[in-house]
Amino acid sequence: MKIFNQKINLKQVLIVIALLLLGNAGKIYLLHNVRTKSDIDFYDYFDHVSVFLFSAVSVISVLVSWKVINRIDTTNTILKFVKVYILSFLLFVIAGVIIDYVLLGIIMNNNEYDFMIRFINTMSVAFILVDIFALTSAFLYFRQSQKTILELEQTEKEKATLQSQMLQKNLEPHFLFNNLSVLSGLARKQPEQIENFIDDFSDVYRYYLKHGKKQLVELKDELSFLISYMNLMEKRFGNTYQIENSIENTDGFIIPCSLQLCVENAIKHNKGSEENPLLISLSRNEDTIVIKNKLNKVDFTLGTGTGNDYLKRQYQLNFNKDVIFTETDTEFIVEIPLISEI
């Protein structure tokens, strides 16, 4: 359900309420015994100082417990709240016994200090302060739950934005214009190649439209798409840019257009010629695809880094994996992790 436009897990709320009621039942019983069997002086300042001190210790116990449990339990289940609740109770009892002994046994030099009686008294105080344990734990738990929900929503928005930007980039007008110019040239000089060019052009755009918003595609499909893309580049640039593919094992999945983006960047940022073509090599190292090209940088480029940023963010957001970009004096290398299964 939603309260004030915020998502609330009703089951979790009910469990917290049940723990609060259970703790308060124990507290009511203890207060009844205090009222009927004890003689408490309301004007004794020491009792008031003790209550304040133990209340502060209870809050500190919860905060310490939250830090400890948060390190060993990264989930956000109701069990985590229960763990914090129990650990904070135990920490309070340990700290309370120590503080009680220091105050009564050492500072006030109480020669009749009875450890067992004082321990039971500390346990009673812990039950009296059970509200603080429960409410502070619940506050920290629900605050993290809400933070997690907001982070997930933001991640989904970011993924959708990245996919939209990448699809728009792949369908941008200058790519269409360049290929229509190539088609016009073929019509004048090599009309027999028009049919093959249109087939490759259709395959490339069909792939963009079909897979552009998918999370993953099979590696073999991405390699097949790359062949169609390079056929277009060959019609445009001749043999200036060449692909050397040594990948034999095509098992695994990859983000759509990732190989094409790497090849596109190599073409955009490096010069080639018919006599000395730029070689772009593809290889596989276990579960990583490696794309390499020799550096022969153009004098000026308007590259914005959108493609590289897209790859990095998509792999981080979706799979918590890194795409590694390495530039040496002679080579530019991209290492893209393969995903074993969807």
260 phi and psi angles, rounded to 5 deg: -60, -40
What 3-state class would DSSP assign to 212?
coil
Digitized pLDDT (tens) for each residue of the chain, 342 residues in all: 443 344 545 666 666 667 666 655 665 665 566 556 555 554 555 555 666 677 777 778 888 888 888 888 877 677 777 788 788 888 888 887 887 777 666 655 656 666 777 777 777 777 666 666 666 777 777 677 666 666 666 666 665 555 555 545 554 555 666 667 777 777 777 788 888 888 888 888 888 778 767 778 899 999 998 998 888 888 888 889 999 999 999 999 998 888 988 888 888 888 888 888 999 999 999 999 999 999 988 876 555 556 677 788 778 877 888 999 999 989 999 999 999 875
Residue 25 exposure: Cα atoms within 13 Å on the Cβ side: 6
**152-183 confidence digits (pLDDT tens):** 666 666 655 555 555 455 545 556 666 677 77
Question: CA–CA separation, 232 vs 260, rounded Å?
Answer: 12
Residues 171-337: name the CATH superfamily. Answer: Histidine kinase-like ATPase, C-terminal domain (3.30.565.10)
Which bin fits 19, alpha (ψ -120 to 50), beta or left (φ > 0)? Answer: alpha
Question: CA–CA separation, 131 vs 27, rounded Å?
Answer: 9
Task: Give, as one character, the DSSP assignment of residue 105.
Answer: I
Contact 43, 111 (CB under 8 A): no
Mean pLDDT over the full length of the chain: 75
Question: CA–CA separation, 127 vs 85, rounded Å?
Answer: 12
From the list 47, 118, 67, 129, the residue with the least C-alpha distance to 92 is 129
Task: Give, as one character, the DSSP assignment of residue 192.
Answer: G
Contact 75, 97 (CB under 8 A): no
Residue boundaries of the structural domains of the chain: 2-154, 171-337
